[in-house]
Chain A
């Protein structure tokens, strides 16, 4: 699904290298998790993949279903099936959540040359999906993320994901700020989208989320590189011992 080869990234503004040759191969239908110390480059990886400005790719490549996504505009990547649930979702005052969602869904459809979703159909679908995530009608009407609690923002990200039905989902610390019940809701939301083809890259600091969303592969990222990959047991190891041993191993 997503092939990342030797991805090297530095900041456009300053001469600071953040990703130093990341290799990842995410097969269709699988759940991969990335863990790693603060500042190791996890969010940067997710931003570069989704096309945020300010970063320069100096080497390497990233292909989504064989297509070079690094050449695409962010909206084209989205239409191609890439989705990023933000670590810090952005507030957009004055734009209703519903308007935003419908614009997003129909923009993607248009970019793909598909017919737009009618207002009626959209309403039906969004109501059902919002209900699953315990997002009430009021939250749908309010401006995007404005005045939402941390946990509400994260659930709103998952609602967007559910509506957009991407092929490749990147979740950047979607679990942080969630209470125990919200975490279950979000995990259910993600698991409901697992259909054997859809692929997930879950960035997290905690094993807890991985209890609910069972990963196939766990990667450890440090200082801009994937330093170790393994099964779910790797997450447990981090949970129990921290990163010190792992960092030493590879040093």
Chain B
């Protein structure tokens, strides 16, 4: 089967050659380096330990005939959103990017010819830093080939969230690369909804300076879509990073999150919840490196699976020597609504400091019969009772969302989805 997913990158290199040569100086340089990096690494293979539970095939195959499905416009966050940027078929459909206080937003396509120093220090650099200890060549490829993305520079408190909504009808591949820089004392919330393409490769690089704060919420709901995402973040001292992803649909999803705690007294959270049905494969792969003192990291993942859906979790906490007073927490749980569904988890701890508190746990379970009977005995029909218990199960992950209004919006959205299925 190796033949169907070659390790060498050939046609792709030709394809990005053009894109690279058309880029401005800094972008050209970053893309060339990334391209060389990807070429050297080669594409992920099924036999790679790192892709043990998720077949990379669909992300690396050349000629895939994937049919993008129109994503229904969802009412989620309608009340909260003031700043919205729309992508259509992986291109910016918002031509005049909003001007908001304490924040500058540029597009990647435009900026690659501009002399943006702050982006040059991040674009491809955090991705490169995240290539160890395992190679993530699809992220390097993204850096080389990304056609669009947003460059968000927060220099102070950004009062309302920035929402990116994507619609794709008629395109297969989307390669999107966002860069976020949060300056000292600044804070910004980025929300992603919709789908960029039938097959998307999305990278977000986030640099959070000392005392900065970054929040990210993502709703993945593309029907037939195949989504590969990477977040690479570097977190300074006394800073905060929180990311939450809700996945309610999609055939194949792999969300990778690579976080580096490089400054003292910071806290990071990566949380996610998914509702999977039948032909659904959902992989969360997280790598958190503690390289500073007195930092907290939390990973909270909840997967609800039925009709043969598959959930995967690979999560690692690496505590480097000297990263004392580290508080690491990791929980990954699945609620299997039938016996056909499957949850595969690989939690890992690697600790080189001695004054550290790390806990991790992973469970798989069915619906709690006692609770189900309790609800039914109150007149709640079984399907509705299962929905309530599903919400109950997911609640902890939603609880990781900082902003109560956004958490409430996610909860209502989820309730509607459950009711509709």
Contacts and interface: CB of A to CB of B under 8 A. Distances in A.
A95 B395 contact: yes
B386 to A, nearest CB: 12
Interface string B370-384: 110111111111101
B369 A73 contact: no
Interface residues on B, range: 20 to 34
Interface string B385-415: 1001101111110010000000000000000
Interface residues of A, number: 31
Among B377, B384, B392, the most chain A Cβ lie within 10 Å of the Cβ of: B377
A94 B395 contact: yes
Interface in A22-52: 50-52
A94 B393 contact: yes
Contacts of B369: 53
Nearest to B369: A53
B376 A73 contact: yes
A160 B379 CA distance: 11
B394 A78 contact: no
Nearest to B368: A90
Given A50-B377, A51-B376, A93-B395, A75 B382 contact: yes
Contact of A94 (B373, B374, B375, B396): B396
A93 B393 CA distance: 8
Given A53-B369, A90-B371, A74 B377 contact: yes
B16 to A, nearest CB: 46
B291 to A, nearest CB: 34
A161 B392 CA distance: 23
A107 B380 contact: yes
Contacts of A92: 371, 374-375, 388-389, 392
Give me the 3 closest cross-chain CB pairs, A-B, nearest first. A94-B395, A108-B379, A78-B379
Given A75-B379, A93-B392, A95-B389, 6 more contacts: A52-B377, A53-B373, A74-B373, A74-B376, A75-B382, A94-B396
28 contacts: A50-B377, A51-B376, A53-B369, A53-B373, A73-B381, A74-B376, A75-B376, A75-B382, A75-B385, A83-B377, A90-B370, A92-B371, A92-B374, A92-B388, A92-B389, A93-B392, A93-B395, A94-B394, A95-B395, A99-B388, A100-B375, A100-B378, A104-B375, A104-B379, A107-B379, A107-B380, A164-B378, A164-B379
Interface of A: 50-53, 73-75, 77-79, 83-84, 86, 89-95, 99-100, 103-105, 107-108, 111, 143, 160, 164
Interface of B: 369-371, 373-382, 384-385, 388-389, 391-396, 399
